Chain A
Amino acid sequence: AQKVTQAQTEISVVEKEDVTLDCVYETRDTTYYLFWYKQPPSGELVFLIRRNSFDEQNEISGRYSWNFQKSTSSFNFTITASQVVDSAVYFCALSGNRDDKIIFGKGTRLHILP
């Protein structure tokens, strides 16, 4: 069975601090896909990144970076120099190779304090 664990339910940091959101996954598939989504207060989920299991390169996009480590089954998300606009709920998600649905984690609510 597939599983996604976001152990941090809620995090608060002061603006300009760096923050890392953890995501640990379980799957028996050798090919799988990992995702991060952002849900701002407006409610609409926004796609941030997709990674397949064969690509372990870390990704950087502006202030956002992702660290994918198969050895620890983790796909962590770091926001550098956080801003108030980063306040949102962030979801990590996993889908397998067999087109067998997507599993979302329960989300981490991030508060960036001015």
Chain B
Amino acid sequence: DGGITQSPKYLFRKEGQNVTLSCEQNLNHDAMYWYRQDPGQGLRLIYYSQIVNDFQKGDIAEGYSVSREKKESFPLTVTSAQKNPTAFYLCASSIQGWRYEQYFGPGTRLTVT
């Protein structure tokens, strides 16, 4: 079955620790994205990558970092510099760029205390 996997579903961390969220896709999509969703809110773009070894900052990149060393993988690191990291994180991919529909993973709910 083709799709996007995110792990883990729930993640708990202590303040001051970096944490990496996993995102893998087997859809052979070129583009991948990370969004943050806060309760009752819409989606905000953190980072995106249109091609391997290249990525761009989204609207709220501060305190986050990514890598895109493989087409299938786009991990997101939430660093200790992120002021309010507790949120629901969604990863998505599309065949190419913004014109095409995005397919989303199940999300990771991160809680930092």
- CB distance B107 to A91 under 8 Å? no
B63 at the interface (CB under 8 A from A): no
Name the A residues within 8 Å of B102 (CB-CB).
45, 47, 102
Interface size range of chain A in the complex: 20 to 34
Q: Which of A19-27, A67-75, A79-87, A93-101 sits within the interface? A: A93-101
- CB distance B98 to A95 under 8 Å? yes
Name the A residues within 8 Å of B48 (CB-CB).
101
- CB distance A104 to B42 under 8 Å? yes
B103 at the interface (CB under 8 A from A): yes
Residues 20-45 of A, flagged 1 when their CB comes within 8 A of B and 0 if not, give 00000000000001010100001111
Given contacts A101-B45, A105-B42, whether A47 and B98 have CB atoms under 8 Å apart is: no
A-B contact count (CB 8 A): 52
Known: A99-B99, A101-B98, A104-B42. 17 other contacts (CB 8 A): A35-B101, A42-B106, A43-B88, A44-B106, A44-B107, A46-B104, A47-B101, A47-B104, A50-B101, A95-B98, A95-B99, A96-B98, A100-B98, A101-B45, A102-B102, A105-B42, A106-B41
**Can you name 12 A-B pairs with beta carbons within 8 Å?**
A33-B100, A43-B88, A43-B107, A44-B90, A44-B105, A45-B102, A46-B104, A99-B50, A101-B48, A102-B102, A105-B42, A106-B41
